[in-house]
Structure 1
Amino acid sequence: MRYEGERSRRRGHPDEATDRLARGLGWFSIGLGLFELAAARSLTRNLGLDGQEDLVRAYGVREIGTGIGLLAAEDPAPWVWGRVAGDVLDLATLATGLHGRNRRLDNLTIAMAAVAGVTALDVVCAETLRRETRRPLRPLADYRGRTGYPKGIRASHGAARDLDVPRAFRTPDALRPYAA
């Protein structure tokens, strides 16, 4: 039996609204990714980015992967930051169409504003998740006093003098430059 808010507690985030937002962004990513895969040609034509269909399809795969990661992860924060990085790529790709020869400049401007708005939402969600994470940071182990010699460096001197090197470790006769 699942209780209200259990998913938030399981993920380690006390704010259920932010957790729901992250899951919503996951579903949005999957939907957008499917759209980019299915309608890449129409999308690029309407934005004046003809010839970028394969790139848009690749971005669709990225969106689907990020969405699945958001829905499946215990901690969605890294995946939301992945969305932010993807949004920056999307904005950079859209910016390549900002030139006077683009007949669809109005559509492109609207698309850039929409992506910028979603980017702002992604950043707010990622920052909120980062602040809410309850995981305590583990202190880093201090290895400054270690040498790698359990009995000390002096005890290691001469330790291998009487070692009988196995035949498999020796240089084969055919590779020796002269007969010993």
Structure 2
Amino acid sequence: MNYLSNIARSEGDPKVIRSGPSSLGSSDRLAKGLGWFSIGLGLAGLIAPRRITRSLGMEGQEAIVRAFGAREIGTGIVSLSVDKRLGLWSRVAGDALDIATLTAAMGRDNPKRDNVQLALAMVLGVTALDVIGARALGSRHEYGRGERRSYRDRSGFPKGIQAARGMARDFGTPSEPRAMPTLASVSEPAPPRQALT
């Protein structure tokens, strides 16, 4: 990677010798992984909805699977963006829809009920990861939590106020100040207004 970044640099630019540690925390990496997982799952829902509905005994509901696939892609993109927390909470809301849909498909008349139970267990596990990741991102990136620092004892003068007193006494005006154009020479007078008759 360093080689590729050095190719794009100009001759006078400094070279990248090695990259430092990532500033991403574990919650950021979890959100990134869940975002890519969501995009992959959404693509599967858009590309092969008939195969998914057949394996779950939900034939005829391909439109719902496609809509859920589009939703998964959207939440995955948001999970990969700057606002990862919103992406994960939107994934939790989508998981609630998935759980409701799979629960409705658990009827005794469904011959693929075992597959639905397995899918429901997987959705519940991913929902737990989404909630854990969203909460972790909230505690990592949220401002205003915990004890705030107090700077009341600081004056802004590194050596103290007493040392700063009188420092500007020996300051003199430069002997040849730069000639500044006057306001009149820069601006033109506004044209007179015409009266409405």
For Structure 1 versus Structure 2, the TM-score category normalised by the shorter chain is: 0.5 to 0.7
Higher fraction of helix: 1
> Is the Cα–Cα contact under 8 Å of residues 106 and 113 in structure 2 kept in the other structure?
yes
**Where do 1:54-133 residues align within 5 Å?**
54-72=63-81, 74-133=82-141
Q: Secondary structure at the match of 2:108?
A: coil
Unaligned regions of 5+ residues in structure 1, if any?
A: 9-15, 138-180
Superposed CA deviations along residues 57-92 of structure 1, whole A, max 9, x for unmatched, are: 0110011111111112x2311110000000000010
**Higher relative contact order (Cα pairs below 8 Å, separated by 6+ residues):** 1
1:5 matched to which residue of 2? 22
- The residue type equivalent to 1:94 in the other structure is L
> Is the Cα–Cα contact under 8 Å of residues 92 and 127 in structure 2 kept in the other structure?
yes
Partners of 2:80 and 2:139 in 1: how far apart?
20
Deviation at 1:39, TM superposition (A): 1.1
Runs of 4+ in 1 over 6 A off after TM superposition: none
- The residue type equivalent to 1:46 in the other structure is S
Deviation at 1:109, TM superposition (A): 0.4
Unaligned regions of 5+ residues in structure 2, if any?
A: 1-15, 146-197
Instruction: Please say which structure displays the higher CA radius of gyration.
Output: 2
Partners of 2:142 and 2:52 in 1: how far apart?
41
Deviation at 1:4, TM superposition (A): 2.3
Q: Secondary structure at the match of 1:122?
A: helix
> Is the Cα–Cα contact under 8 Å of residues 78 and 86 in structure 2 kept in the other structure?
no
- The residue type equivalent to 2:90 in the other structure is G
Deviation at 1:43, TM superposition (A): 0.4
Deviation at 1:47, TM superposition (A): 0.4
Deviation at 1:127, TM superposition (A): 1.0
- The residue type equivalent to 2:31 in the other structure is A
Partners of 1:4 and 1:70 in 2: how far apart?
22
Partners of 1:40 and 1:61 in 2: how far apart?
12
The answer on 1:135 being equivalent to 2:143 is yes
Partners of 1:114 and 1:71 in 2: how far apart?
22
Deviation at 1:136, TM superposition (A): 3.5
- Which of 2, 7, 21 aligns to 2:30? It is 21
- The residue type equivalent to 2:67 in the other structure is A
Number of residue pairs the alignment of both structures matches: 128
Identity rate of aligned residues, in percent? Answer: 50
Partners of 2:93 and 2:63 in 1: how far apart?
19
Deviation at 1:3, TM superposition (A): 3.6
2:149 matched to which residue of 1? none
Superposed CA deviations along residues 89-119 of structure 1, whole A, max 9, x for unmatched, are: 0010111111111000000000000000000
TM-score with structure 2 setting the length? 0.62
Question: Over the residues paired in the alignment, what is the CA RMSD in angstroms?
Answer: 1.5
